[in-house]
Every structure is written in structure tokens, then in C-alpha cells.
Amino acid sequence: MTEEFREIVRILNTDLIGSNVVSQELMKIKGIGPILARAILVKAGIPINKRVGLLTDEELSKIEEMVRNIHDYFPEYMLNRRFDRFTGESKHLIGSDLTFAIERDIEFEKSIGSWRGIRHRLGLKVRGQRTKTTGRKTKRPVGVKRKKK
């Protein structure tokens, strides 16, 4: 029985390259990090170093089902949306749902006028980074004047 190798595998609206390792390629799905990717593979019984193109249809469907229902397979602390601000429940968001939720949180912070919301509104650094020399958006150098000839 010969295994069929696939160059591109599509899981959860994300194209994964068939020649790469499964644990690395799962991280391309927005909402899955390195620890969760390895945990999914261990729980599904798939070798971590297996190539994506060599996965069978059963293994692919198992991975997809586990990612869709992460709260059934893993403890709450592994979810990316614990105690949601609006609903109060813990869930795990993937792909465009995660992007939408992050944008909604930023808009909420802007509307209530929190410090982070103000920094977002002004287009400045939010997490306490230095801004004296980094994060400049002008094209010309600041603090240096050229001589006129």
C-alpha cells in the first residue's frame, strides 16, 4: 500500500505545506501556538515530526475536530479566550473570529477611554515600550538638520 503525498493540505481555511512538519504547520492557523499544536498532536496520537503531506484523511479530520472542540479535550487554562469580557464564558477562537474579537476589544478600550485605548487611538506603543527613539513614523531623521548649501 503506497501512501499518497499531498503538496498542500487545507485545514480550517488555512493552507499547510505538505513537506513541512505537522507541529510547525499547525502554528500557521491563527489561534494555535507551539504548545497547543504539540498537545493536539500528542492527544490525537500523531507523531510530532510527521510530514503534513503524509497525514491520512482520518488524522486530518481528527485534528480538525479537536481544534474545533478544544474545550472538550484540554483544560481551561489552555484556551485563548478565558472569561470573555462580553459573555463571561471561556472559549477558544481561531482564524477570523480571533481577529474580530481582538478588534472588538481594542474598540471597547478606546470607547471607555482607558490608557491602552488612548494609546491605540493615538497610534503609539501600548505595552510600555520606549518611544524616544523607536516607533517613529516620519521618513526623515529627527534631531538632525542638514546644512543648506
pLDDT in tens, the chain (149 residues): 456 888 888 988 889 998 999 999 999 999 999 999 999 999 999 999 999 898 889 999 999 999 999 988 999 999 988 888 888 888 899 989 999 999 999 999 999 999 999 999 988 889 988 888 887 776 566 666 677 77
Whether residue 101 contacts residue 81, with contact meaning beta carbons closer than 8 Å, is answered with: yes
Neighbours of 100 (CB within 10 A): 11
The CATH number linked to 27 is 1.10.8.50
39 is a domain residue: yes
Q: Average pLDDT of the chain?
A: 87
CB within 8 Å of 33: residues ≥ 6 apart? 27
Residue 97 lies in a domain: no
